[in-house]
Amino acid sequence: MAATSTSTSLSINQRRWKKFKGMRRGYYSLVILLGAYLLSFLLPLMINNKALLVSYEGEWTSPAARDFFGSLPFVGGLAPSSFDPGERYGLIGEQSEADYRKLQLRWEEEGSENYVIMPLYPFSPNEDITVTGNEKFIEPLQVDGNDNTRIFGTDDVGRDVLARMAYGFQVSMSFAILIAILEYLIGIPVGAAMGYFGKWLDILMQRFMEIWHALPFLFLIIIIVSFVEPTFTLLTVLLVIFSWLGIATQMRAQFYRERSRDYVAAAVSIGVSTPKIIIKHILPNTLVPIITFFPFAVVGGISALVSLDYLGFGLPPPTPSWGQMIGVGLSNITKYWLVVVPFGAMFTTLTLVVFIGEGIREAFDPKVFSRLR
Amino acid sequence: MLQYIIRRILLAIPTFFGATFVVFFLVQFAPGGPYEQQLNALRKGQGSEGAGSAIGSENMSIPPSQLEALQRYYQVNEPIWARYMMWLGLYPRPTNDYLAELDEPRNVGGGFRVIVKKKSDGQLAVYSAENPTEELSDWYIDPSSKANSVWVYQRTISGIFTADFGTSFHYRKPVTELISERLPTSLQFGLISFVITYVVCFYLGTQKALRHGSAFDVVTSSIVFIAFSIPGWALGAVLLVLLGGGSVLAVFPTGGFQSNDYETLTLIEKIADRAWYFVLPTIAYTLGGFASITLLMKNSLLDTLGQDFVRTAYAKGLRENRVIWMHAMRNSVIPLVASIGGIIGIFLAGNYLVEVAFNIDGIGKLSFEAIVSRDSNVFFAFAVISIIITLVGSIISDFMLALVDPRIRFS
């Protein structure tokens, strides 16, 4: 194959990046997915039943911004932190959280100087029929009791499907990325140590990993979660405990092969310290399969979470999650949108991740198959 | 060869013990495990059954005899290794455990009665109540906290190795019986999915290798990867709603395994009926399996096609079909054959997600429901079966590899 590039000054990684960008599909998938994920951190300002801005008797407040800052450190939708009771805005006798949609209508009717600016889509993922205006099983694009259009309808307890789907995206992605990173943090050092040091450490760890491999891991997680109240942390720990093996196995094989190369022997003979050999000399040579595997680790995390949520052993309710939504849809099988919407979201997300993965794999693959006919 | 297989099997034994121990340990020591749950149930049960007395008081004390019976049933006072060995069936476990008062006949089931008396040397011994001179040597005695009473019991070796998984609390039936009732259903899905997966992957992988780099190759690659990443049961759910539900199209049944009037149908109708029920779940079952095997087949064939002996075959003027099918193919199916063990494990272990989504009464759904109803013996059994299938699968894989690849000699 004749190289078309005339420039020779590009480093290997720059060339890979160029190749990756050259494959439009993977590159655009990355742009879209990354953009959507970053944007999803702004969800409390875009899809929320709390006002972006309330101007009441000359005073400005922003309950949505408070939600936004409250949700920042981690995922988990809308923590019911501090709130403004309805009384604060002149709804006499209302001790509970102000209903900003109602407030807006009321002030508009009164023609008062106070006003409310609502987010783009003024519904929360967790508000159900207990809030006036919400109804069960509203079909997509139909209106609710307050004449508001529900783009993807509502579910069996009157929660907005679009809002839940959007927040579910944020939860799924954060969860999957976190798990993939933790898997790598455990798998890489363990696999490297096994491959590099070998001997009893390798034999012992291999036995251990064989045992771990034989376990039906998702099933065990379900058993454990059925005993213990699930939390975000517990689920993360459990999934990582059972899924770091793949990375470790790959790393072990890579290190095992690289260790016998001449450049390692050379480094040892001039007295380079062991940590330096491992980190500076061998590690960079072993990262290619690990990097190309990352998107698929994310896929695995999303699938595992969706499956656990569907069975009811995932994140504690009412966390918005695609698995729980599909589960509700399956028990209300005539309400097609309850399954189609979360599945569509999951399908789109996973497809984008797969396209990114394919792009990366292609960009890193030096192998060119040639065939004589 | 034989030596290799034997060594491989011997190596699987410690793995089996390790994996089952992890399962046993996790379930026994997870907070809120079976013993604690029974304890809590007893505490609560007393609050509500006690007709008005101290309703809902969680700290009600359980009568010592009842607590002791529970402790003896779960063997909480035994060391963990002993409980594990009893569970496996390598160490005798107490059975027919009864609290007996001294010098009083005690009914121990089957119309048989025993009596505990002091022997002349002051030791306690168990006698048949009908024939008080006959000392029963297969009965054992443990002290009890209740005055003037002891526990009498027999010992048997019974556990996983004797195919005794205990009794289901929920169905009140032996677990072995429950599982063997439902196993055929899961096996039918597993085997059909297995065959379909291999046929499709073989064909697809071959075509992709022969047309490497073409639009067909690129598109099918994306499709199998997307199919791989989407959980099968979730696609099944969508198909069920779109094709099987009442809402859009009702082409397929809404789940289940066969029609209600299945028994009255003729043979051909039976086959058609079963096939009609099988379409959607089988799609869900097979979805995830395509990617790895298709790519394995493709890469393997591509590698072979680039080798010198294929070039030679072309050079001597053989037709392309003959080169591919007679020369290249035999060398290319080796990794495919070697992967059989792992794949068969995935299909045979009963996919509880698909079974739950489609309401199919296989072992997967049974085990999942057992977790929900906290029927620990049932899900223990499922976990052990999964482990055995995984281990046997990997042995089969190695065996097949050694069988088909003449270059591999294990010594």
The predicted-structure confidence for A12-34, as pLDDT tens digits, reads as follows 788 888 888 888 888 999 999 99
Confidence of residue A325 (pLDDT cuts 50, 70, 90): very high
Q: A339 to chain B: which residues are within 8 Å by CB?
A: 237-238, 240-241
> Which of A330, A334, A350 has the most B C-beta neighbours within 10 Å, making it the best mutation to test the interface with B?
A330
Q: Which of A336, A347, A371 sits opposite B247 (nearest CB)?
A: A336
Query: Which pLDDT belongs to residue B50?
Result: 38
Instruction: Decide if A1 touches B, using CB distance below 8 A.
Output: no
Asked if B231 lies within 8 A of A210 by C-beta distance, the reply is: no
Chain B hits for A302, Cβ within 8 Å:
229
Q: Where are the domains of chain A?
A: 1-47+125-373, 49-118
CA distance A301 to A177: 8
3-class SS of residue B143: strand
Nearest to A351 among B212, B226, B303 (CB): B226
Q: Do B246 and A334 touch (CB under 8 A)?
A: yes
User: Tens digits of per-residue pLDDT, B37-93?
Assistant: 777 777 776 544 433 333 444 455 677 777 888 888 777 778 888 888 888 888 888
Contact B33 A227 (CB under 8 A): yes
Residue A345 with chain B: CB contacts under 8 Å: none
Instruction: Assess whether pLDDT exceeds 70 at residue A78.
Output: no
Probe site for chain B from A237, A352, A367, A369 (most B CB atoms < 10 A): A369
Q: Do A213 and B311 touch (CB under 8 A)?
A: no
Assign A60 a pLDDT band (cuts: 50, 70, 90).
confident
Residues of B in contact with A365 (CB under 8 A): none
Residue by residue, what is the 3-state secondary structure of B367-397? HHHHHHCCCHHHHHHHHHHHHHHHHHHHHHH
For residue B349, what pLDDT is reported? 67
Q: Which two tokens stand for residue B300?
A: 């393997």
pLDDT at A322: 93
Peptide bond before A318: cis, by omega within 30 degrees of 0? yes
Cα gap B357→B351, rounded to integer Å:
10
Q: Is A47 helix (H, G, I), strand (E, B) or coil?
A: strand
Q: Residue A169 belongs to what H/E stretch?
A: helix A161-197
CATH topology of domain B175-404: MetI-like fold (1.10.3720)
Q: What is the mean pLDDT of residues B390-406?
A: 82
Give whole-number Cα distances, B269 to A112, B174, B256, B272, in Å.
73, 35, 17, 5
Q: For the segment A138-184, what is each residue's pLDDT rounded down to a tens digit?
A: 888 888 777 788 889 888 888 899 999 999 999 999 999 999 999 99
Is A137's pLDDT higher than 80? yes
Residue A207 forms contact with B (CB below 8 Å): yes
Kindly tell me if the per-residue pLDDT of A347 is higher than 90. Answer: yes
- Report the alpha-carbon distance of residue B56 to residue B122 in Å, rounded: 46
CA B250 vs CA A63, A333, A349, B242, B265: distances in Å: 47, 11, 28, 8, 22
Q: What is the domain partition of chain B in residue ranges?
A: 175-404
- Answer whether CATH 1.25.40.10 is correct for domain A1-47+125-373: no
- Residue in A220, A339, A371 nearest the CB of B241: A339
Alpha-carbon distance of B282 to B408, in angstroms, equals: 36
Chain B residues whose beta carbon lies within 8 Å of the beta carbon of residue A212: 19
Bridge partners of B115, per DSSP, are: B105, B127
Tokens of B10: 């011997």
pLDDT over 90 (residue B277)? no
**B165 pLDDT higher than 50:** yes
Q: Which of B398, B84, B18 is closest to A204 using CA atoms?
A: B18
CA distances from B247 to A34, A233, B162, B322 (A): 35, 39, 50, 52
Q: Give the type of residue at B162.
A: T
What's the predicted TM-score (pTM) here? Answer: 0.85
Q: Nearest Cα to A247, choosing from A188, A198, A298, A326?
A: A188
Contacts of A214 in chain B (CB under 8 A): 15-16, 18-19, 387, 390-391
Q: How far apart are CA B133 and CA B112, in angstroms?
A: 16
The CA-atom distances, in angstroms, between B334 and each of B289, B398, B400 are 18, 11, 9
Q: Are B213 and B306 in contact (CB under 8 A)?
A: no
The rounded distance, in Å, linking the Cα atoms of B399 and B396 is 5
Token pair 């029929």 is found at A129
Contact A204, B360 (CB under 8 A): no
Where does the pLDDT of residue A373 fall: very low under 50, low under 70, confident under 90, or very high at 90 and above? low
Res. B351: pLDDT tops 60: yes
In this predicted structure, the answer to whether residue A2 has a pLDDT above a threshold of 70 is no
CA–CA separation, A104 vs A83, rounded Å? 17
Range picked from A75-84, A328-337, B267-276, B340-349 for highest mean pLDDT: A328-337
